[in-house]
Structure 1
Amino acid sequence: MFILSIIPYFGIGQNKITGKIVDQLGFPVYRASVELNATDNITYTDYDGSFSLSSTKDFHWKINIKSKGYKPESFFVLNGGNTGNIVLEYNTDINKLLDGSSSLHQKFYWDTWNKEILFPKSEHLLVGLFNPSN
């Protein structure tokens, strides 16, 4: 009787859901929230994008994934509890930045810095140096 009463304390009644969250380029997503649907059971991915959740339910689960800069995702985990890699898509703001259609593009890309910030239009300086009439 004693042995049967302590079995739940060792986690035999728990089922594990494991997986990895990556972005569209295959890089791990750090600190993405992974939540079992309709429960308070939530965890966050580590530096490698990996996560692990425990559940008393033993067949299939629905998990909700959220991270800043990405579209929210719902994913069904069926058998075995391993999701493999789940790919999150970038949200529209990040896509605009990557495509170069955002106003932030000029602040982050070297070609713009090279032209406008580091080497401003210097024709005025050169004309003054080489014009002996000044």
Structure 2
Amino acid sequence: MRIVTYMLLLSLVPYFGLGQNKINGKVVDQLGFPVYRASVEIDATDIVAYTDYDGSFLLKSEKDFHWKVNIKSKGYKPQSFFVISGGNTGDIVLEYDATIKELLDGNSSLDQKFYRNSWGKAVLIPKSEILLAGVFNF
């Protein structure tokens, strides 16, 4: 009798996982690096997941598939796509927004003011501010 009970319980185990639909994937940038803390949300719901340090995410929902999924992260263009069935989406590539593209191309005013013009120039520090290990004063 015990064997029949155990077999019945083990045969029901796959049905416990059918209550939630899952989708997982990885969010990367245009260079292939993972995007950390990007929000991945199902459109028109409160279901949100955030990518981990590896860019991976996992969304679970009681709703059947045919979801619209929105991905957002600072420095990247927002992206939306449709999920027809569950499983692994593979790598989802986010494009850089205009400000990040300017920095990478070297065309931004920030890059020109602080980095390129200061290369090779001496840095002057007033003598009154130089104090080494609290012992030497110039």
Establish whether TM, by shorter chain, passes 0.5.
yes
Q: TM-score, normalised by structure 2?
A: 0.71
1:75-111 Cα shifts (integer Å, max 9, x gaps): 11222332111000000000011111101113664x5
Q: How many residues align?
A: 112
**Corresponding position of 2:122:** 118
Alignment of 1:49-128 (within 5 A): 49-106=55-112, 109=115, 112-115=117-120, 117-118=121-122
Provide the TM-score with structure 1 as the length reference.
0.73
Q: 2:32 aligns with which of 26, 29, 39?
A: 26
Gaps of 5+ in 1: 121-134
Choose which of 34, 43, 49 in structure 1 pairs with 2:49: 43
Unaligned runs of 5+ residues in structure 2 are 1-8, 125-138
> Taking every aligned residue pair, what percent have the same amino acid on both sides?
69
